[in-house]
Structure 1
């Protein structure tokens, strides 16, 4: 398997870390589709709030994605290279934070039977230098993907916007690195990040030159 890679965070602003490989491996509870070391980021506003309000809909129903701070934020290429995957057109699901999330989660198997695109939703894949690995940015907003297969992107080019397409219960960015282009056959590759500030759930924040943020911490790019 390809050795681990080091990337910058694929966005600006503050984001909450979820399903971090620092907590467990496989991070999402499965090795399927090369997701062994995948990590999720949810945009936050003041404090650690992911949305601008909490009301009865939060508990009992779905919520509009526009409530969520991350929805529509730019997602950046964490490496320069060739675009090897580009998919758009999948709808953004209404957000589910309360009891309505459980029926949705029970439909994961049905989405999996529809293939990787049904799980990933709108997404972009970029080859790392030398084609040794591929980074995928997943759950992008419908209609926001800005790059096509075969195009070359530069570091920090905007490739799309944060959305909630595919297997998603609220707007977020899912990042994973694979050792092959076909996620049904490839393996996940460990990833760490460089030059970011991490604010853990407890204790003081710290500037990190390289590392893997803890689950539940808030992160922001330095520089």
Structure 2
């Protein structure tokens, strides 16, 4: 169960909301605000991109990688199960936003970047895409963002348990390749939310440049680290 930790650990404690290997990007361990803004409750948010053992985010590179957009389903994160990071109650669900093509090409990223301000003006749906918000027992709210269209498996008012399969990873909203964006907030409304710090329990981490994983019982993944959750004592997943 997630809870607001003691004064020694003031962050909201969560489990990593997936299985397998994921790369941490825009980590609050690197800077705060982690995404360069306090808008939409993003002050302490972190992005996770699905990878393989070689830290690759997709299964191939071809002419599209360098000159155009790419199908979302060539990226490892796409359609991977997303799990509830804590026990709680679903209080917001939004679905129906399209999953975009992936963009690794600088040529494809230029027009996308030029549209950033317009997406912000359009509001939460254009930025977050498909998302859900879970109310935690301690009074905070956790948002899971950029989910795959049609993949949400929970409804408003439903109680969820940590490790429960709630959706799959997509590329909706303000996203250039499939990934999961997670953040903790003091209100359920992303349009006015203030971000709160969070940390994760019991995972292994391979920092950028390291050859070996290390086990971390509690903390925030480093920028560029590959992480994988470890089972919590007595914990089990529900599908």
> Which band: TM-score by shorter chain?
over 0.9
Q: Which of these residues, 24, 38, 44, is aligned with residue 37 of structure 1? A: 44
1:1-223 mapped onto 2 (5 Å cutoff): 3-99=10-106, 100-130=108-138, 132-203=139-210, 204-223=212-231
Cα separation, 1, equivalents of 2:95 and 2:126: 11
Q: Distance in 2 between matches of 1:134 and 1:102?
A: 34
TM-score, normalising length from structure 2?
0.90
Which runs of 4 or more aligned residues in structure 1 lie more than 3 Å from their structure 2 counterparts after TM superposition? none
Deviation at 1:173, TM superposition (A): 0.2
* Distance in 2 (alpha carbons) for counterparts of 1:68 and 1:129: 34
Instruction: For 2:186 and 2:37, locate their aligned partners in 1 and report how far apart those are by CA, in whole Å.
Output: 16
Name the SS of the counterpart of 1:112 in structure 2.
Answer: helix
Provide structure 2 residue ranges, at least 5 long, that are not aligned to the other structure: 5-9, 232-239
- Structure 1: distance between partners of 2:122 and 2:112: 15
Cα distance, 1:186 vs. partner? 2.2
Which residue of structure 1 aligns with residue 235 of structure 2? none
The superposition leaves residues 61-92 of structure 1 with CA deviations (integer Å, 9 ceiling, x where unpaired) of 00001111110000000111110110110000
Counterpart-to-counterpart distance in 2, 1:95 and 1:105:
13
Q: TM-score, normalised by structure 1?
A: 0.96
Q: Which runs of 5+ in 1 are unaligned?
A: none
